[in-house]
Amino acid sequence: MGKIDMKAHVICLNDSVEFVVIDDEVKAEEVKGKLAKSYYEKQSWRWSSYEEYQHLCFWHLHTVGAL
């Protein structure tokens, strides 16, 4: 069986996995930005400012090998 060299770009909000993009880090960054913006817009009543939201909601990528 040959080796498959794929990468999974895991999009997280704080310690929660929100989405995964396979083999396209640029697309993963785009999706992360869209998710972060959408989450803020839907939940904006929770924070007094966008800066507070960014402080409390840490969106980030983890890239791992996939099979």
pLDDT tens per residue, range 15-53:
999 999 999 999 999 999 999 999 999 999 999 999 999
Distance CA 38, CA 54 (A): 13
Expressed as residue numbers, the domain containing 15 is: 6-66
What's the whole-model pTM score?
A: 0.86
- Residue 49 within a domain: yes
Number of domains in the chain: 1
- Residue 1 within a domain: no
Per the DSSP assignment, residues forming a β-bridge with 60 are 12
- Please report the pLDDT score of residue 5 as a whole number: 83
- Please report the pLDDT score of residue 31 as a whole number: 98
Question: For residue 20, which amino acid is it?
Answer: V
- Residue 38 within a domain: yes
- Please report the pLDDT score of residue 66 as a whole number: 64
| Distances in whole angstroms, Cα of residue 26 to Cα of each of 32, 36, 52 | 10, 16, 26
Cβ–Cβ < 8 Å for 61, 12? yes
